[in-house]
Amino acid sequence: RVLMELNLNNKKILITGGSKGIGRGIAKDLNAIGAKVAICSRNQKNLDNVDFLRKEFKFKADVTIPEQAENLVKNVIKNLGGLDSLICNVGNGNSAPPGKEKHSDWQKSISENLYSTTNMVEVSKQHLSSSNGNILCISSICGVESIKGAPITYSVAKSALNSYIRSASRPLSELNIRINGIAPGNVLFKDSSWEAKRIK
């Protein structure tokens, strides 16, 4: 596989949820072209399995919790020496089937698919402003279209994330920060919800 020349050599990049799936793939490719990459995960075992990054660039943190998000950024700044880009990749499509939602399902989905980003942007924007940095949010096609069978809680949370990206772009631009989102479709990787469905 040939990677594009993105002029990211030595750029300091934090990827949340970077130990598997889309996040891991982004981290691996950016590391391969010379970026200084840090990742986080709630799961220490998953972090340990990321063999292409040094230990000091792998952090255990739950970014749905504001205090942990703040501590994560402080530690990343200390170890990377700054922050140029933030990739908000944390998300979870596992939820109740359509029409079976409970309040706890809504709380979990909003937390993992919206607050995981808003928390990180809030605690990172001061550092990103000083580096004229950028933010990339990994959303989902479920937040753009009505997908048959997709959990409603997940779809609504991703739609809210898309709205946040649009609304936050103006105030962030005043801080010299760009924010964008991408909305991938179904992605198959180890331990993903799609792998579980394929096995069934």
What tens digit of pLDDT does each residue of 22-50 get? 999 999 999 999 999 999 999 999 999 99
Q: Count of alpha carbons within 13 Å of 111, Cβ hemisphere only?
A: 14
Place of tokens 């609304």: 167
pLDDT at 55 over 60: yes
**pLDDT value at residue 7:** 82
Comparing 17-26, 107-116, 191-200, which segment has the lowest mean pLDDT?
191-200
**pLDDT value at residue 37:** 98
pLDDT at 177 over 80: yes
pLDDT band at 187, cuts 50/70/90?
confident
Averaged confidence pLDDT in the chain = 93
Q: Is 184 buried (19+), middle (13-18) or exposed (0-12) by CB count in 10 A?
A: exposed
**pLDDT value at residue 186:** 76
Q: What is the DSSP string of 137-173?
A: EE--GGGTS--TT--HHHHHHHHHHHHHHHHHHHHHH
Q: Hey, how many other C-beta atoms are within 10 angstroms of the C-beta on 107?
A: 12
Q: Hey, how many other C-beta atoms are within 10 angstroms of the C-beta on 57?
A: 21
